């Protein structure tokens, strides 16, 4: 596993710490994270982790990531708590020139935790 060089984010805003080049990424939140503050992980953090995963999964093997253009149909039906580890998977839905859409699903213990359709613009 290596640090995902295609992400422009740095600690503490990088939510995908490692990229093994495969189709599954992990997002884990700990009780020490500043964003949890003792309660559930805010939905915007899960959304950002899924956005980072979309860029990595869509660009795997191509050497470039993307910047977020749009999020559609984002749902997070259950709370994510510090200590939970989400398994993030993505499917490239379509490419439109420099734009691409990725459907990302986050699962917790095999159960749906969040999902969304992410449109990104490829970065050079």
Per-domain residue ranges of the chain? 24-122
- Secondary structure (H, E, C), the chain: CECCCCCCCCCCCCCCCCECCCCEEEEECCCCCCCCCCCCCCHHHHHHHHHHHHHHHHHCCCCCCEEEEEEEEEECCCCCCCCCEEEEEEEEEEEECCEEEEEEEEEECCEEEEEEEEEEEECC
Residue 32: its pLDDT value, please?
Answer: 62
Highest-scoring range by mean pLDDT, 10-24, 58-72, 79-93, 107-121? 107-121
pTM over 0.85? The answer is no
**pLDDT tens per residue, range 94-116:** 888 888 898 999 999 999 999 99
How much is the pLDDT for 20?
52
Average pLDDT over residues 46-50: 87
Which CATH fold would you assign to the domain 24-122?
Thiol Ester Dehydrase; Chain A (3.10.129)
């Amino acid at each position: 596993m290596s640090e995902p060089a295609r992400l422009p984010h740095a600690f503490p805003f990088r939510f995908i710490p490692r990229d093994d080049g495969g189709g599954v990424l992990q997002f884990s939140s700990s009780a020490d994270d500043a964003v949890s503050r003792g309660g559930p992980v805010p939905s915007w953090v899960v959304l950002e982790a899924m956005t980072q995963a979309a860029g990595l999964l869509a660009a795997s093997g191509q050497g470039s990531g993307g910047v977020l253009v749009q999020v559609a149909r984002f749902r997070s039906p259950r709370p994510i708590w510090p200590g939970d580890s989400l398994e993030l998977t993505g499917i490239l839905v379509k490419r439109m020139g420099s734009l691409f859409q990725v459907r990302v699903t986050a699962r917790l213990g095999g159960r749906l935790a969040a999902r969304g359709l992410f449109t990104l613009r490829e970065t050079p």
